[in-house]
A and B are shown apart, each in its own frame.
Chain A
Amino acid sequence: MLDASLFGADFSRRDFMKAITAVTAVMGLPATMIPKVAAAAESDNRPPVIWLHFQECTGCSESLLRSSHPGLGNLLLDVINLEYHETLMVGSGEQAEKALHDAIVAHKGKYILVCEGAVPLAENGIYCQVGGTKAVDSLRVAADGAFAVISMGTCASLGGVQAAAPNPTGAVSVSSLVEDRPLINLPGCPPSPYNLIATILYFLTMGKLPEMDAENRPLFAYGRRIHEHCERRPHFDAGRFAKDFGDEGHALGYCLYELGCKGPATYANCSTLRFNDNVAWPVSIGHPCVGCTERLVFNTSIFDKVDIIDPTSPAWFPPTKVTPSGKPVSAISALGVGAIAGAALGFAAGKGSTLPKE
């Protein structure tokens, strides 16, 4: 029983169920799924996890460590079997290398590989090495034996700051190097730790990977734009914008779009899940969203206005599309409409071709 034995005496069953309920909500699963998620978390079938670091700042691991819901940091360590994590483990040197090697062999085909950071390819990838092994090689070996690969953070998912121009190390994302393995991207700088926990628990509960978008991001976390869930959205719709940091509109909490907020182009759940124990997120404390879950981050100035391509209503508006709109266009009527236009054009063209050539 993980809920009592491993969390210590002060972690009650009630606290455990609270944490599970929160994680179930993050996954977007109905409340009826809570017992299944709890059962998955309690089972001894803890999936082995190997966590590799490449070109990164360890911000993603830091973010994970600061998940401060009661016991969630612990829950992660107990729900999964974390075999290797350079920042967290006690061992070092050859001992650590051996742990990695043993874990890959022992759990071949069963472990989840979590990667943090981008992989340099320039000059044969010499810019990032651990124990004399190049990042690209350790990734290949670890990914070969993995059941699934999770790219944690923007660098691993999309290349991030390392891959931004001029990209001296030739950095690329982990995702672009992993083939023939199920791949999940959790971009964000840093990503919310709960998105990682929810992804793993989703897998444990449902036995399959969550539904994902074209960028391989789980839809439960990246299905909607910041702009659709933003608490400042009513100001946007009313045309009330902060024009400058510290101006009156900024003080009054107006929309930050004109200061460069990338919310309308950024798929993420920061506006609903938030950081620091669900208290704050950049926009709530007055800074525009930089679009860290999208490719535009590090390629666009933080203060450039982003173009809005597909406008969407706030998520709390009732849906307006009840049934497919409009009268159906039948093939015959479309043909008729097209034929009239074609006949008119043909007539004009026929007349025109009788005009003199000189």
Chain B
Amino acid sequence: MHITFNRVSANYQLGPIKRANILTDLSAEVKPGSFTAVIGPTGAGKSSLLKLINGLLLPSVGEVSVGEVVFTSKASKQALKQVRKRVGMAFQFPEHQLFAETVYEDLAFGPRNFHMTDSEIDATVKHVCQLTGIDQSLLERSPFSLSGGQQRRVAIAGILATKPDILVLDEPAAGLDPAAKKQILEMLSNLHRTEKLTTLMVTHDMDDVVHYADDVIVMAEGQIKAHLDVRSLFADQDLLDRYQLDVPTALSLQQQLEQAKGERLNNRSLTLTELADNLIEEGWV
């Protein structure tokens, strides 16, 4: 499903007092079925960009289109409902949205809001449990009795239960231990592939960008500064320097090695395997 931003500006203005724009004059197109990482310093407008896709923030100027739904500053309730059905959104620490008495009820919350029948809901809950690896035995437990990692899983399952075509994630692995983090990200990456979900993910971890994303949107000062594929991003040292972006572990190691040796490798390595290959190929080891 296509997402396009057409010269969008937005702010959190309430009432008549003028506020500075959070996002200014954005234009971008996210390809259907792609996995796009959104990176940039804090306050760059990453989360606001995600909210635009879901109609939680409306453009003050310009238009956003998600699939065949187009919305501008005056979006109808109907259009918003449609878009929210299409787009699943996980905020930072999504487990804070858990509320129901049982995991089952929490997973059923989204489908109920979108008026699915009871049998459909039952099937959907079973399905998302399978997708996210939640054991059936957990369904009758209270979500508050689960561990942090499991809560996160349930929260994400609750978002998937609305059967979105687009998944929008704001640092889905923040605050988890490395093992749980890897599990969650692997799960999301699998979902992206098997369910053909167009995925956007805000992240600060460049290794995650390398491992999971196809494309990258670089944001700063409320604007999209660059939208390119992962390899081109890390090939462009100017761009990385200008927005003070980190590099993946492998590339950072390569740069240290190059500095120590006073020579350069021909290719920039993004993963450790690549780095090892490059080192062997050029006879450094």
To the question of whether A and B form a pair in one complex, the answer is: no
